[in-house]
Amino acid sequence: MVRMLISGLLPHESGKTWVGLTLTRKLVEAGIKVGVFKPVAGHNAWYQYRTVVESLSRGVLVGEDIVRYLGIVKDLDVEISNPIDILLAPPSIEKYLKKDVESYLDDLENQFKQMVLARVSTCIPKYTNHYVFKENLDNISPYLKEVLEKLVLKLKAIDISIENFIKILRTPKIEDMLSKCLEVVEQGKDVVIIESFNNAIAPYTRILRETDMILIVSPSTILIYKDKVGEVLSTLTNLISRVGEKGFETINIVTKLKPDEILHVKPRLDVDEDDESLNTLALKIFKMLR
């Protein structure tokens, strides 16, 4: 089995999911059994309102990317392939007019100020908890708040503070839980596509120990690390010991380790449009399975 880790160089819009979806489709069409694992996902209730509607329909918090993967991998289980999901919503500027308008712009750059709902799903045994962050929910515009309050009721979300939720995510048990979910995803698969979160080189350190190839995606370019995966793990471990969580940022790896190969991808109108570089990458994966 081949494990491929797709990481983004930028905090947003690197193109990770477009690369992951294209590779997944090409592999599935070739008869390869593909699993998808996106340990942590985030989406925005305002900019991706469709995810709110989808979550209401399914009765589980779900993001846009994992639903798009579901359109290709039919046996994908949303809660196992994406154990942690976080819904953001921008605060309304109205309350800031009474105090500090400049802090409004700062809060739009701070994910902790925008988290309104979250889901944490365990895989063995399978169980899901939804959480609501009322301290942020109370700050969003009334129309969006009304819809999200319906979602809170539908999901039976537990009221929790941002601080306590972060403590949950930082417990050692979470990494164990994510590893168990990956084991479930891998069952009966030939290839597992693992997508990291934002600009983190890996969703958690342990996953690098058995990764066969890392793709670092930036607009128009993919950096491939295949022979240097061990060096990536060693570099990441050293960085975390020195600078903490900031060491996870992908840029730290790129500045310290040259890629084994560089691919350039063309602009595409749609994720299903063909791309020669991604065809080449898919062929590399086929050869790794032999």
pLDDT digits (tens, 9 = 90+) for 81-139: 999 999 999 999 988 887 788 888 888 888 899 999 999 999 989 999 999 999 999 99
Stretch 67-89: mean pLDDT: 95
- Token code pair at residue 228: 């240097």
Same domain for 46 and 89: yes
Segments forming the whole domain that contains residue 205:
190-289
135 contact partners, CB below 8 Å, separation of at least 6: 161, 162
Same domain for 159 and 246: no
202 contact partners, CB below 8 Å, separation of at least 6: 5, 7, 196, 208, 211, 236, 248
pLDDT digits (tens, 9 = 90+) for 163-183: 999 999 988 899 999 999 999
- Token code pair at residue 71: 């359109």
From 121, 137, 170, the end of a domain falls on: 170
* Average pLDDT value over all residues in the chain: 93
Residue 27 included in any domain = no
- pLDDT at residue 290 greater than cutoff 80: no
d(CA 175, CA 178): 5
Same domain for 148 and 62: yes
- Token code pair at residue 277: 């570089």
Same domain for 98 and 142: yes
Strand ranges across the sheet with 40-44: 40-44, 84-88, 115-123, 126-132, 158-159
Q: Are the CB atoms for 216 and 254 separated by under 8 Å?
A: yes
pLDDT digits (tens, 9 = 90+) for 185-238: 999 999 999 999 999 999 999 999 989 999 999 999 999 999 999 999 999 999
Same domain for 165 and 44: yes
Q: Are the CB atoms for 265 and 223 separated by under 8 Å?
A: no
The amino acid at residue 36 is V
pTM for this model (two decimals): 0.92
Same domain for 52 and 133: yes
Specify the number of domains making up the chain: 2
Q: Residue 109: its pLDDT value, please?
A: 85
- Token code pair at residue 82: 């994406």
From 114, 135, 170, the end of a domain falls on: 170
Q: Residue 138: its pLDDT value, please?
A: 95
Kindly provide the residue ranges of all beta strands, DSSP E only, lying in the chain, ordered along the sequence: 2-8, 34-37, 40-44, 84-88, 115-123, 126-132, 158-159, 191-195, 213-218, 221-225, 261-264
Same domain for 111 and 50: yes
Q: Are the CB atoms for 208 and 253 separated by under 8 Å?
A: no
SS3 label, residue 249 = strand
d(CA 231, CA 217): 18
Q: Which helix (H) or strand (E) holds 178?
A: helix 172-186
Residue 5 included in any domain = no
Stretch 50-68: mean pLDDT: 96
Q: Residue 177: its pLDDT value, please?
A: 94
d(CA 40, CA 74): 20
- pLDDT at residue 76 greater than cutoff 90: yes
Residue 183 included in any domain = no
